[in-house]
Amino acid sequence: MTEINNVVTNVLSPVFGHRYPTVVRGDRCWVEDASGRRYLDAMSGGSMAATLGHGRKDIIDVARRQARQLSFAHNERLTNPMQEQLAAELASVAPTDFTRVKFVTGGSEANETALRVARAYHVERGDMDRWQVVSPAQAYHGPTLQTLALTGRPGLHGPLGPYLPQHLHIPPCTSHFDPTGEAALAALDQVLELAGPRSVSAFFCEAISAAALPAYGPPRRFWEGVEERRREHGFLVCFDEVVTGIGRTGTWFAANACPLVPDVIATAKGLGAGYAAIGAVLVRDEVYQAFAKGSRRFTLGHTWDGAPLSCAVGLKVLQVLRNEKLLERVAARGPRLRAELEAALSDITMVSEVRGHGFLLGIEFADPRDKGSFLPPDLRVAGRVEQTCFDNGLLIYSTQPTRDGFAGDQCLFAPPFVAPDEDLAEMVERFSTSVRRVAAEVDRQLAMTDRPFASVPPDA
């Protein structure tokens, strides 16, 4: 079969009429398109799922063996050894006291299930009115209607507003607006008051942000403040660890290194590492006990939840992470990678911050005229960096939610954990070359026009 590159795709794509490169094969942290052109994959498959790189024969062999033995069995009436083992293993690497797991097939399903757990937990305990969820506005939790409602970004909601439940939002405590976290805590107090007593079911957030605020982790004080309010108000804390779970930040979960232990963790991408569609929701024993002492039921599920094939892949992924000491590698190599990026970008005035936790790194850009304001959104700076990287054979991710008011142009850098040093060095080189090229153009554009600064005030 002839492999055709750069096709106008037949699927409902993000940009209609755009010619998409057609990738046809991958090997570790390289992917190849139909014309034979190779790209360095600094985004683990584009969405941070392929944490162990492409083309791993050991995982493929496990999947093949399991598919022959028993690929699928619906878990409403049946269970299977792969699901049972994977549940036990996940509970053993989660923070203390996490004892039960529910499998799903992706990140949004994991987050939706976490929401269902939180609501049902309160109902099981007779707290019938708790349903509202509070979450930081600058976030991404998925495209389903409940998960979309958890972000407070009108730009993402688009025309779907009428379908979205009215959850409550606080501004994120970014280094830009609220480096101490105190303003976000004050906003949390306000929305708790607005919601009224015993009406909030959960505080829902990413422990370390992924695409929405690349690699940003709130300060310690913020977590302490959320803990104080959890004790006082009785809501649950749910962590969206769809990206950070299973090693991305150098620990099994970001929660393992967070001053606040959540009640529920939702995870997905790295669990299947791009070889199976699998996600999971982990709950603390206290949450489980509410069900165990109550209705003794947690109903509703999806067809592929806990399927032997995807759970066998998940088990192999955990084994690879352990055998190849990849958490240790990410924890040790991540800070050096961040330092290398920082050094390579240090002379570029529009680079305002390089952040990082393990192999999740964020690069933020600011207006070079005052080194602080957001760049004018119409310059599409981060998008141009992403495109220039692509032209230089490097896959990264960019985001420009400036008009939503909480963050400006940023790029995300999240290589597979197995990327060898020479490939990491090449990624840094290609990235800094691309940023430098765009920065020179932006400097020229800003000098020629008097585009206004774009410092948008936070507005939840």
> Where along the sequence are the contacts to ligand PLP (CB under 6 A)?
47, 106-108, 111, 140-142, 206, 210-211, 240, 242-243, 268
Task: Give the whole-angstrom CA distance, residue 113 versus residue 333.
Answer: 34
Other Cβ atoms within 10 Å of 227 Cβ, number: 14
Tell which residue, 267, 324, 423, has the closest CA to residue 58. 324
104 phi, psi to nearest 5 deg: -140, -165
Name the DSSP class of 28.
B
At its nearest, how many Å lie between ligand PLP and the CB of residue 430?
A: 23
Closer of 43 and 418 to ligand PLP (Cβ): 43
Task: Give the whole-angstrom CA distance, residue 266 versus residue 139.
Answer: 15
Closer of 146 and 201 to ligand PLP (Cβ): 146
Closer of 106 and 136 to ligand PLP (Cβ): 106
Task: Give the whole-angstrom CA distance, residue 91 versus residue 99.
Answer: 5
Closer of 113 and 352 to ligand PLP (Cβ): 113
Yes or no: say if 101 and 281 are a contact pair by the CB < 8 Å rule. Answer: yes
**In the Cβ-directed half-sphere of 43, how many Cα atoms lie within 13 Å?**
21
State the first-to-last Cα distance of the chain, in angstroms, to the nearest integer. 52
Encode 319-338 in three state secondary structure: HHHHHCCHHHHHHHHHHHHH
At its nearest, how many Å lie between ligand PLP and the CB of residue 323?
A: 26
At its nearest, how many Å lie between ligand PLP and the CB of residue 209?
A: 8
Yes or no: say if 380 and 447 are a contact pair by the CB < 8 Å rule. Answer: no
At its nearest, how many Å lie between ligand PLP and the CB of residue 243?
A: 5
Residue facing ligand PLP at closest CB distance: 107
Name the DSSP class of 151.
S
At its nearest, how many Å lie between ligand PLP and the CB of residue 244?
A: 8
Closer of 215 and 331 to ligand PLP (Cβ): 215
Task: Give the whole-angstrom CA distance, residue 84 versus residue 184.
Answer: 40
CA dihedral 29, 206, 267, 145 (to 10 degrees): -110
At its nearest, how many Å lie between ligand PLP and the CB of residue 105?
A: 8
Closer of 168 and 242 to ligand PLP (Cβ): 242
Yes or no: say if 203 and 230 are a contact pair by the CB < 8 Å rule. Answer: yes
Closer of 249 and 373 to ligand PLP (Cβ): 249
Closer of 52 and 211 to ligand PLP (Cβ): 211
Identify the sign of the CA torsion 310, 269, 301, 262. Answer: positive
Closer of 306 and 368 to ligand PLP (Cβ): 306
At its nearest, how many Å lie between ligand PLP and the CB of residue 445?
A: 31
Closer of 12 and 448 to ligand PLP (Cβ): 12
Sheet holding 397-399, edge to edge: 351-357, 360-365, 410-413, 397-399
Measured CA to CA in angstroms, residue 237 lies from 25, 112, 118, 264, 296 at distances of 40, 14, 9, 7, 22
At its nearest, how many Å lie between ligand PLP and the CB of residue 47?
A: 5
At its nearest, how many Å lie between ligand PLP and the CB of residue 139?
A: 7
Which pairs from 389-393 meet CB under 8 Å and 24+ separation? 389/430, 389/431, 389/434, 390/39, 391/434, 392/430, 392/433, 392/434, 393/37, 393/38, 393/39, 393/40, 393/430
129 phi, psi to nearest 5 deg: -90, 0
Task: Give the whole-angstrom CA distance, residue 313 versus residue 275.
Answer: 7
Closer of 137 and 366 to ligand PLP (Cβ): 137
At its nearest, how many Å lie between ligand PLP and the CB of residue 355?
A: 16
At its nearest, how many Å lie between ligand PLP and the CB of residue 339?
A: 25
At its nearest, how many Å lie between ligand PLP and the CB of residue 241?
A: 8
Closer of 39 and 239 to ligand PLP (Cβ): 239
